[in-house]
Amino acid sequence: MPSPTVVQVVVDKPLAQGFDYLWDKASLEVDPQIGHVVEVPFGRSSLVGVVIKVSAHSEYEIKKLRSVTNLAPLPPMDPAALRLMNFASQYYIHGLGETIIPAIPQMWKKPASWGKLSASLLAADLKKTKKKEVEKNLAEGYVSESDLNDVQLLALEQLKNFCTQEKFNAALLQGQTGSGKTAVFLHWLRALLSDNKSQALILVPEINLTPQLERRVRAYFPEKKMAVLHSGVSEKKRGTAWYEAITGEAQIILGTRLAALTPLPNLCAIVVDEEHDPSYKQQDGIRYSARDLAIWRAHDLKIPIVLSSATPSLETWIAAKAGRYQHLRLDQRAQGAALPKVHLLNMRDPQNQLSPGDKVKPGLNFSLSKPVIAAIQKSLDEKKQSLVLINRRGYAPVLNCSACSWLSKCHQCSSYMVMHKAGALGGKSVLSCHHCGLVKGIPKHCPDCGNADLKTLGQGTQKLEDAIEGWWPSARVLRVDTDSSRKSKGAEELFQAIHEGNVDIVVGTQMIAKGHDYQHVSLVAVLDADGRLFSQDFRAPERLFAQLVQVAGRAGRANKDGEYSGDIYIETQFPEAAVYQYLLRHDVDGFLSHLAAEREEAKLPPFCYQALVHAEARSLDKATRFLGKLKGRLQNKGLIGVGLKVYDPVPRSMMRVAGVERAQLLIESDDRKRLQMILEAIDGDLRSQSQGRISKDDRVRWLIERDPLTI
Residues making contact with ligand ADP (CB under 6 A): 141, 143, 147-149, 152, 175, 177-183, 334-335, 517
* Residues 339/331, Cβ–Cβ less than 8 Å: no
Q: Quick one: what does residue 610 bind among Zn ion, ligand ADP, none, with the CB cut-off 5 to 8 Å set by partner type? A: none
Per residue in 29-63, is it b (16+ CB within 10 Å) or e — as a string?
A: eeebebbbbbbbebeeeebbbbbbeeeeebeeeee
Write the CB contacts of 28 (distance below 8 Å, at least 6 apart in sequence): 68, 70, 71
Reading across the β-sheet that carries 430-432, which strands appear in turn?
418-420, 430-432, 439-441
Tell the smallest beta-carbon distance from residue 11 to ligand ADP (Å): 41
Long-range contacts of 123-130 (CB under 8 A, 24+ apart): 124/240
Closer by beta carbon to ligand ADP, 204 or else 679: 204
Residue 448 is a binding residue for Zn ion (CB under 5 A): yes
Considering CB distances under 5 to 8 angstroms, the limit depending on partner class, which of ligand ADP, Zn ion, none binds residue 343?
none
446 binds, among ligand ADP, Zn ion, none (CB under 5 to 8 A by kind): Zn ion
Stretch that binds Zn ion, among 268-276, 446-454, 478-486, 569-577 (CB under 5 A): 446-454
Q: Which does residue 433 touch among Zn ion, ligand ADP, none (CB within 5 to 8 A, set by kind)?
A: Zn ion
**Residue 153 Cβ vs ligand ADP, minimum distance, rounded to whole Å:** 9
- The correct pick among 436, 454, 478, 546 for binding Zn ion (CB under 5 A) is 436
Q: Is residue 452 involved in binding Zn ion (CB under 5 A)?
A: no
Give every CB contact of residue 585 below 8 A, 6+ residues apart in sequence.
none
Q: Cβ contacts of residue 48 below 8 Å, gap of 6+?
A: 11, 12, 37, 38, 39, 40, 72, 101, 104, 108, 109, 111
CB of 401 to Zn ion, least distance (A): 3
517 is in the binding site of which of Zn ion, ligand ADP, none (Cβ under 5 to 8 A by kind)?
A: ligand ADP
Q: Is 374 in the site for Zn ion (CB under 5 A)?
A: no
Q: Which of 286, 285, 289 is nearest to 276 (CA)?
A: 289
Task: Note whether 406 binds Zn ion by CB under 5 A.
Answer: yes
For Zn ion, the closer of residues 413 and 703 by Cβ is 413
Among 81, 258, 433, 700, interactor with Zn ion by CB under 5 A = 433
Residue 703, H or E segment = strand 701-706
Q: Are 675 and 611 in contact (CB under 8 A)?
A: yes
Cβ–Cβ < 8 Å for 57, 101: no
Q: Of the candidates 412, 414, 429, 535, which one interacts with Zn ion according to CB under 5 A? A: 412
Among 404, 407, 452, 597, binds Zn ion (CB under 5 A): 404
**Cβ 201 to ligand ADP, closest distance in Å?**
17
CB of 383 to ligand ADP, least distance (A): 22
Shortest CA distance to 634 belongs to which of 647, 624, 621, 622?
647
Contact indicator for 436, 375 with CB cutoff of 8 Å: no
Q: Does 403 bind Zn ion (CB under 5 A)?
A: yes
Taking the least distance from each CB to Zn ion, the nearer of 436 and 544 is: 436
- Residue 608 touches which of ligand ADP, Zn ion, none (Cβ within 5-8 Å per kind): none
Amino acid 412 reads: Q
d(CA 205, CA 102): 19
Cα torsion 489, 490, 492, 493: sign: positive
Decide which of Zn ion, ligand ADP, none touches 344; Cβ closer than 5 to 8 Å per partner kind: none
Report the residue number, 257 or 554, with the smaller CB distance to ligand ADP: 554
How many residues are there in the chain? Answer: 711
DSSP 427: S
Q: How far is the CB of 191 from ligand ADP (least distance, A)?
A: 16
Q: Sign (positive/negative) of CA torsion 434, 438, 444, 450?
A: negative
Determine, following the binding rule CB under 5 A, whether residue 237 of this chain makes contact with Zn ion.
Answer: no
Q: What is the C-alpha to C-alpha distance for residues 610 and 671, in angstroms, rounded to an integer?
A: 10
Is residue 507 close enough to count as binding Zn ion by CB under 5 A? Answer: no
What is the closest distance, in whole angstroms, from the C-beta atom of residue 268 to Zn ion in the complex? 47
Q: Which is nearer to ligand ADP, 91 or 185 (CB)?
A: 185
- Using CB under 5 A as the criterion, which residues of the chain lie in contact with Zn ion when the complex forms? 401, 403-404, 406, 410, 412-413, 433, 435-436, 438, 446, 448-449, 451
